[in-house]
Amino acid sequence: MKGKPLASIVSAGLSKFGKMKGLYGRELFAQAAKEAYERCPNLDPKKEIQALFVGHMGESYEHQGHTGATAADWAGLTPVAAMRTEAACASSGVALRAAILAILSGIYDVVMVGGLEKMTHRTTPEVTEFLAMASDFPFEQWHGITFPGLYALMATAHMHRYGTTEEQLAHVSVKNHYNGSLNPKAHMQKIITLEDALKSRIIAWPLKLYDCSLITDGASCLIITKPELAKKYTDIPVHIIGSGHACDTIGIYERESYTSLRAAKLAAKQAYEMAGVSPQEINVAEVHDCFTIAEIIAYEDLGFCEEGMGGRLVENGETRLDGKLPVNTSGGLKAKGHPVGATGTAQAYEIYLQLTDQAEKRQVENATIGLSHNVGGSGATATVHIYRRG
């Protein structure tokens, strides 16, 4: 049935994002879990949370795998059923999808879903190498194509096909840095100018430093329940009314288009149809701006504008906090930061705050329907979720 709640968010937590010196990923996850517990005094986590789904991309960063059990342990949830999901940067978007399916299965009433990544203690070349593991090894990594390099290939193609400009890319960065300046948990609270962005050093032409998301430590989580139980825990739940998940070839070069992500378009179509809403009905969205070009492509894949018009949408200010459809009010991956495995549920956390009037200085007025868009790698995985204030 269209628009019927699939599952409901009754609480959420987010660690501080940034260079969290001296803290392990699991300790950041404990911070996020603690906030979620405190936000929901009607819930007894020890007795009522029955399972944990946790997104985590890489063992290489902390020399630590087996993240489901580890995160459950540090969140005080042992011996609940815990599992890790891995889908590169969409690891916790996929975890959210799995958690919703688990609720819908009827086996669980209350579950926690989240994600974590600890990255900043590694050198930039190391992180560059670890992130590249989300792409194809024998044909992309082996030929020196980095992760920013893959999105740069998309940016070059988008600029060539639609006339998208480096200035338009920079507008994404300026907007998201402004939003991040209003978010006390963001990695960077620094307002930047168009000139700062355009003059920053080249990472993979045409992408410059300020076109790239941040290497960040952080963790995020949500507590979700069967919709009929939500009011037991909170006066204002957020219902998840649409969920989409699709994949594409691991190699970008096998795809027909470099200017849109087929997996994201398919996931969006599924989520919109399930929710019974159109792109024009979305009040606030968190999209996967791992690079500025990715946000522009996201506008187009999600139907916020016509194909090729994403650059103009941001240039005209329509996705600013005071625009028609505010996008990445949290600061996005660009300014809030991108602890890879934590990102999907960190996006859901921001939508939860927005739809329950808890987003403070960056609150979007009368927001009732929200969307999150989480992409893994160069688009081989995508999840889209649609939320409605309960």
Partner 1 sequence: MAETTSFTIEQFYKFIEKGKLMSVRCTECGKVMLPPKPICDECLSDKLEWKQLTPRGKLETYTVIHVAPTQFQSLAPYAVGIVKLQDGLKLPGIIKNVAFEDLHIGMELEIEFDASLPSKWPIWPRYYFKPI
Catalytic residue IDs: 89, 338
Q: Sort strands 284-286 and 369-376 into parallel, antiparallel or unpaired.
A: parallel
Q: Are 364 and 322 in contact (CB under 8 A)?
A: no
Q: Which of 110, 115, 116 is nearest to 224 (CA)?
A: 110
Q: And the tokens for 105?
A: 């299965």
> Shortest distance, CB of residue 107 to partner 1, whole angstroms?
33
Torsion angle, alpha carbons of 121, 288, 309, 259, to 10: 80
Q: Hey, is 29 helix, strand or coil?
A: helix
Q: Identify which of residues 4 and 253 has a Cβ nearer to partner 1 in the complex.
A: 253
> Shortest distance, CB of residue 58 to partner 1, whole angstroms?
14
Q: Identify which of residues 34 and 255 has a Cβ nearer to partner 1 in the complex.
A: 255
Residues that bind partner 1 (CB under 8 A): 124-126, 128-129, 132, 137-146, 148-149, 152-157, 160, 201-207, 251-254, 258
Q: Sort strands 51-55 and 110-117 into parallel, antiparallel or unpaired.
A: parallel
Q: Taking the CB of residue 56, how many other CB atoms lie within 10 A of it?
A: 33
Q: Identify which of residues 60 and 189 has a Cβ nearer to partner 1 in the complex.
A: 60
Q: Identify which of residues 63 and 143 has a Cβ nearer to partner 1 in the complex.
A: 143
Q: Identify which of residues 90 and 152 has a Cβ nearer to partner 1 in the complex.
A: 152
d(CA 87, CA 341): 8
> Shortest distance, CB of residue 206 to partner 1, whole angstroms?
8
d(CA 78, CA 72): 6
Q: Are 244 and 268 in contact (CB under 8 A)?
A: yes
Q: Hey, is 107 helix, strand or coil?
A: coil
> Shortest distance, CB of residue 155 to partner 1, whole angstroms?
8
| Amino acid identity, position 365 | E
Q: Identify which of residues 137 and 317 has a Cβ nearer to partner 1 in the complex.
A: 137
> Shortest distance, CB of residue 378 to partner 1, whole angstroms?
11
Q: And the tokens for 207?
A: 């992408």
Q: Identify which of residues 128 and 316 has a Cβ nearer to partner 1 in the complex.
A: 128
**Positive or negative torsion for Cα 144, 147, 150, 156:** negative
> Shortest distance, CB of residue 149 to partner 1, whole angstroms?
5
What angle is formed at CA 315 by the lines to CA 182 and CA 389, rounded to 5 degrees?
A: 50
Q: And the tokens for 6?
A: 């699939």
d(CA 8, CA 111): 10
> Shortest distance, CB of residue 252 to partner 1, whole angstroms?
7
Q: Identify which of residues 114 and 379 has a Cβ nearer to partner 1 in the complex.
A: 379
Q: Which residues contact 226 (CB under 8 A, 6 or more apart)?
A: 7, 8, 103, 109, 110
d(CA 131, CA 330): 23
> Shortest distance, CB of residue 27 to partner 1, whole angstroms?
28
What angle is formed at CA 182 by the lines to CA 9 and CA 75, rounded to 5 degrees?
A: 40
